[in-house]
Amino acid sequence: MLGNLIGGFVVIIIGVNLLPTVANEVSGAQWNGTEGSGNVTGATSTITGLIPLFFALGILSAGIALTAQGLRAAGMLGV
């Protein structure tokens, strides 16, 4: 149980620390008008801009799943 709780928190901490790096790489890939040398333009640029959001949602859901699994094993979740 404790291993799952700690694992969930570690996943969240590592994901939060990697989120600025992911956002920086995405902004580097996008075309910023006269600035930057990105090669992603148009609708692809809009969709690429959503990558940090989906990364954050994935990290959050993985951390919540690990924590819920640990609480369920301890009998504290009630399900």
- State the Cα angle at 18 between 14 and 19, rounded to 5°: 120
Domain ranges of the chain: 2-30+39-74
Q: Can you give the pLDDT at residue 33?
A: 63
Give pLDDT tens digits for 2-52.
787 788 888 889 999 999 999 998 888 886 666 656 778 788 888 999 999
Give the length of the chain. Answer: 79
pTM of the model: 0.79
